[in-house]
Amino acid sequence: MARLSVESIRIECDPFTPLTKEFAMNPNRLNDFAATLLRVALGVLYLAHVAQKVFVFTLPGTAQFFASIGLPGWLAYLTTFVELAGGLALLAGFRVRVAALVLLPFMLGATAAHLPNGWSFASPNGGWEYPAFWAVTLAVQALLGGGAFALGAREAAVQRA
């Protein structure tokens, strides 16, 4: 009967670091995976929100909404473009810190726009809770960086060593 142990398992999680007991217990690598999970989730969610603006509300409809809350209509187009570029950059792991920092002011603006509606996002017209949480996740992503599987991750790992 064969015995399976952590030491006998070697799964390649990326091209330069095998998964071993020592690797799995390394907090720096676990942080890389946490950063990756956050990065991919943010990227997918940003792209979903872009799709909603383009295909459900339409860009002119989104611009009209922005105007209805006192913002210039053209800001809807800029916001959609920045969210598209930022979402793609996050998903690919390209210049993740820059992408998160570029997206952050837009989430802070959304938070400010929702302040009059109260805290809970379930309240009419949505409160500031949800966009504030997005802002915090972007700040955390900017601090953590791209994590594992990001473009340039190998170079970052070499620089850390």
95-140, pLDDT tens digit by residue?
A: 999 999 999 999 999 999 999 999 998 888 899 999 999 999 999 9
H or E element, residue 31: helix 27-51
Instruction: Report domain extents, the chain.
Output: 28-160
Q: How far apart are CA 121 and CA 110, in angstroms?
A: 12
* Structure tokens belonging to residue 42: 């943010």
Handedness of CA 137, 142, 144, 145 (dihedral sign): positive
Per-residue pLDDT, 152: 72
Of 125, 132, 159, the residue nearest 145 (C-alpha): 159
Would the pLDDT of 48 be above 70? yes
Per-residue pLDDT, 1: 52
Tell me if 41 sits within 8 A of 100, measured CB to CB. Answer: no
Per-residue pLDDT, 10: 39
Q: Is 121 helix (H, G, I), strand (E, B) or coil?
A: coil
